[in-house]
């Protein structure tokens, strides 16, 4: 089956300039890449209540994850570096727009699952 549809808007910056490149969708505005297969299944996964990482893998309490990009911490000069491994995450219920609670060497943080991949 061929995919002749336009890719969905970028999940990171919400701009609609994304394009398909092989098995990934790419946003030229912010440089974010995500799997094209996960975006095609987005309608079925959106309502199931499962929190998924940037690659579409389901996350659970106690999982270890890796950061997929450098993240600046608001209100401080701390930067969480790409590739940092975070162990024993928590998925609190009703956390608002941040799905994951975690602790690193720099402190405790609330992160969005789209910036993580399962380790």
Question: Which residues neighbour 42 within 8 Å (Cβ) at sequence distance 6 or greater?
Answer: 8
Confidence class of residue 27 from pLDDT cuts 50, 70 and 90?
A: confident
Residue 85: pLDDT over 90: yes
**CATH-assigned architecture of domain 65-118:** Roll (2.30)
pTM metric for this prediction: 0.58
Class of the CATH-defined domain 1-48? mainly beta
pLDDT at residue 113 tops 50: yes
Q: Residue 37: is its pLDDT beyond 70?
A: no
Q: How many Cβ atoms sit within 10 Å of the Cβ of residue 9?
A: 15
Domain boundaries, the chain: 1-48, 65-118
Tokens of 8: 């969905």
Binned at pLDDT 50, 70 and 90, residue 86 comes out as very high
The per-residue pLDDT for 4 is: 57
Q: Provide the pLDDT confidence category of residue 1 given band limits of 50, 70 and 90.
A: very low
Q: Partners of 85 in the beta sheet?
A: 66
pLDDT at 2: 52
pLDDT at residue 5 in the model: 63
Taking residues 93-109, what's their average pLDDT? 85
Q: What is the pLDDT of residue 67?
A: 94
Residue pointed to by tokens 């996960």 = 38
Among the listed residues 39, 16, 105, 30, the one whose alpha carbon sits nearest the alpha carbon of residue 69: 30
């Amino acid at each position: 089956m061929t995919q002749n549809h336009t890719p969905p808007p970028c999940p990171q910056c919400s701009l609609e300039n994304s394009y398909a490149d092989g098995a990934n969708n790419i946003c030229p505005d912010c440089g974010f890449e995500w799997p094209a297969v996960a975006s095609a299944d987005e309608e079925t996964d959106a309502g199931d209540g499962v929190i998924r990482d940037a690659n579409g893998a389901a996350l659970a309490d106690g999982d270890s994850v890796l950061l997929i990009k450098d993240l600046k911490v608001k209100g401080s000069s701390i930067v969480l570096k790409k590739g940092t491994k975070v162990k024993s995450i928590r998925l609190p219920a009703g956390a608002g727009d941040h799905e994951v609670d975690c602790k690193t060497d720099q402190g405790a943080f609330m992160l969005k699952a789209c910036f993580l991949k399962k380790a």
